[in-house]
């Protein structure tokens, strides 16, 4: 996960075409007034469906695809765990298709997979999701453009002044070399957006296990 402001991508990145018209053109200004605890976005847990198992969209029916577990820890920059952080994820199915009427990718919708989940970190800052490995899909950014396999993350809490949205990628995906969104990140920070495969620790039968820690 991105750990400092230097690792953030530039506001304008010409290779990411949809960024051209919506990127801010004016310099940001620094907020000098102290932000008090609890002054961030007002979030009520009851407004979220806290289902961290995306495999249970339909009872007794499993989605198509490789089952995976994503787990990690949310900490601050001093390394302290953050409790009560709400994490939302959304993703394409195993064929690279979102459950969205605006998704025009010529791939099948999995009737047993919604592609959305949410959870809250515990007292140790830990979170976990069960889901399936998403597929790659084409997009119109450039000729023969394909988005690598990824999962969207949204992090929110009353003590966070703004919602943080990012994407988690998977190791050894050759499409990362061609993706302008991933490559808008400074090269030395890109690995922080790639989940780590648990080859020896936390092995669970029938699941590929990945870790993705988040630093706020």
Find the catalytic residue in 16, 127, 150, 169: 150
Q: Does 16 qualify as catalytic in the annotation?
A: no
CA contacts within 13 A on the Cβ side of 198: 16
The CA-based dihedral angle spanning residues 52, 58, 63, 68, taken in that order and rounded to the nearest 10 degrees: 20
CA–CA separation, 168 vs 171, rounded Å?
A: 10
3-state DSSP helix/strand/coil % of the chain, to nearest 5: 15, 25, 60
**Catalytic status, residue 147:** yes
Among the listed residues 16, 127, 147, 169, the single catalytic one is 147
The catalytically annotated residue of 16, 98, 127, 169 is: 98
- Note whether 191 and 170 are within 8 A (CB): no
- Those residues whose C-beta lies under 8 Å from the C-beta of residue 111, and which sit 6 or more positions away, are 58, 61
Q: What is the DSSP string of 121-152?
A: --TTSEEEEEEEPPPPEE-SSSTT-EEPSEEE
Residue tagged active-site, from 16, 127, 137, 169? 137
Question: Is 190 an active-site residue?
Answer: no
| CA separation, residue 82 to residues 73, 144, 187 (Å) | 8, 41, 28
98 is catalytic: yes
The residue annotated as part of the active site, out of 11, 105, 152, 190, is 152
Q: Looking at the annotation, which residues are catalytic?
A: 98, 137, 147, 150, 152
């Amino acid at each position: 996960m991105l750990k400092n402001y230097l690792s953030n991508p530039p506001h304008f990145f010409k290779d990411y075409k949809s960024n051209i018209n919506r990127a801010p053109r004016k310099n940001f200004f620094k907020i000098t007034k102290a932000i008090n605890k609890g002054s961030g976005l007002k979030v009520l847990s009851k407004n979220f469906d806290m289902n961290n198992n995306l495999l249970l969209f339909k009872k007794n029916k499993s989605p198509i695809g490789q089952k995976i577990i994503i787990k990690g820890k949310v900490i601050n920059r001093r390394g302290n765990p953050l409790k009560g952080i709400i994490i939302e994820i959304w993703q394409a199915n195993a064929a690279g298709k979102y459950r969205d009427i605006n998704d025009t990718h010529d791939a099948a919708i999995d009737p047993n997979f919604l592609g959305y989940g949410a959870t809250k970190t515990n007292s140790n800052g830990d979170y976990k999701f069960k889901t399936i490995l998403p597929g790659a899909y084409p997009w119109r950014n450039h000729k023969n453009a394909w988005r690598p396999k990824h999962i969207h993350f949204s992090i929110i809490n009353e003590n966070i002044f703004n919602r943080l949205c990012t994407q988690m990628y998977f190791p050894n995906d050759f499409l990362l070399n061609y993706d302008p969104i991933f490559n808008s990140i400074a090269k030395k920070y890109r690995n922080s957006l790639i989940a780590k495969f648990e080859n020896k620790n936390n092995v669970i039968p029938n699941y590929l296990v990945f870790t993705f820690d988040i630093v706020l």
